[in-house]
Each structure stands twice: as structure tokens, then as C-alpha cells.
Amino acid sequence: MILVLGGTGEARELAEALVARGVRVVSSLAGRVARPRLPAGEVRVGGFGGPEGLAAWLRENRVRAVVDATHPFAERIGTNAARAAEATGTPLLRLARPGWQAGPDDVWHWADDLAEAARLLPGLGNRVFLTSGRQGLSAFAHLDDLWFLIRCVDPPGPPLPRHHELVLDRGPYEVAGERALLGRADVLVTKDSGGSLTSAKLTAARELGKPVLLVRRPPRPDTETAETVPEAVEWVLHR
């Protein structure tokens, strides 16, 4: 059995490719999205109970290898996976798509976390297109002088900025639609998620000459890493 810590497009692609090759795959989803896109193979939803719980699950299910294909900002599960893999001697691969790279016409600013992004925002614009996800929106809740166009997959909970409009949508997104939304804002705030699923907003910002405030990825444990699904498939098959 191969355990894929998923929730991303790459995780679904990996599960599909492995199942097609006759590999038994269990994909683990955190359960934070109400209607997730389910991958091929077996699926479990919910946490493991920290690194100790994950280690116990790996032993009980005789897992041959783990692929951490979670979102670049899913820092806790990445740490738990590394600790559980080390404790059980289970091979671990991190499937991590590369971060976005600025082009010559991009106007990008960087923040180390959402709190720093909130501190930098007042100097970049009064109307904000915020696409950092529904978790962590409280970092912007105190900015009463700014207006936010907030996009999430599922409805966020409080606290939220006083002046805001909520858009519920799921990628992939088209440049034309992103251009229309960004036309209502002065600045785009997002995380450096990488990949093509949500990159249309960066193209739209470039075309409109709008600044982008990106939150850097949190550090991850040092482990073997693949950048593409085919690389991850080869790694698994060699296990």
C-alpha cells in the first residue's frame, strides 16, 4: 500500500497514475473542503492524531511508502509525515510543485506570512483582491480602512474584514475572469502556491499593471523531493 497525503491536483494525478499501474493507493484528505474532488483508489478523510497517530497507522496498514503531495502551505502535515516516516522507517517523498517566478513586467512584493502581508497592504492599495484561502483571514480583520474582495472555495468563518465582498469559487480560473475581478481592486494578495491551476490571476495582474503581494512558502522538513507527477510515479514504482 502507498499512502498519498493529498488534496491537491498533483495528488489526484498521482493516485490515478498509480492505480492505473495496479498499485494500491490510499489518499488521505484533511476534510477541510466541503465537497473535495476525490482521487482514484481508496480515500480516508480526517487527521491521524499527530505524528504518533500517523506512525501507528503506517505500521498497522503496512504502508510501503508515503508521498506528501499536500498543499505547499500545509506545514503541519508535512512535519508530521516526516516524523512518522522517520519513526517507522517508511520511505517518504515530497511532491512539491515549483513556486511562481516573476517576469520582467510583474510588480511583486513578498511577505513572510499573512501577518506581514497585512502590515504591508495599506501602502499598496485601498481595494484588495484577497485569494489566500479561508484560513488565516483573521490576519486582515483589523484593516477597517481597506475594502476586500475575498475569494474562497467554502464560506469562511469570522473574524473577517469589516468592508468585504465574498466570492465562492473553485479553480481552475480563466484570465478573462481574473481580469474582471482584479479590475475592481488595486492590489492582489495571494500565497505562492505555484502551478497552473490558479496562476491566471498573476497573468491578469501583469496585464493590468496591478501589484501582487505574495506570501512565501513556510519551511518544510528536508526530505527527498519530486517536482512532477511522473517523477513521483517512478519513485513509487522503484519502491
Nearest to 73 by CA among 89, 96, 52, 57: 96
Q: Determine, yes or no, domain membership for 103.
A: no
Q: What is the count of structural domains for the chain? A: 2
The strand pairing partners of 147, in sequence order, are 127
| Per-residue DSSP letter, 138 | G
pLDDT for 33: 67
pLDDT for 239: 80
What does pTM read for this prediction?
Answer: 0.89
pLDDT for 104: 93
Residue range of the domain that includes 9: 2-98+219-237
Nearest to 73 by CA among 192, 160, 190: 192
Q: Which residues in the chain come in under a pLDDT of 70? A: 32-34
Kindly report the CATH number assigned to the domain that includes residue 206: 3.40.50.720
Give the model confidence (pLDDT) of 4-19 as tens digits: 999 899 999 999 999 9
Residues 93 and 145 in one domain: no
| Per-residue DSSP letter, 57 | H
The pLDDT > 70 percentage for the chain reads 99
Is omega for the bond preceding 172 within 30 degrees of 0, making it cis?
A: yes
Residues 88 and 114 in one domain: no
Rounded to whole angstroms, what are the CA distances from 68 to 24, 38, 139, 147?
Answer: 16, 16, 27, 36
Q: Determine, yes or no, domain membership for 62.
A: yes
pLDDT for 26: 97
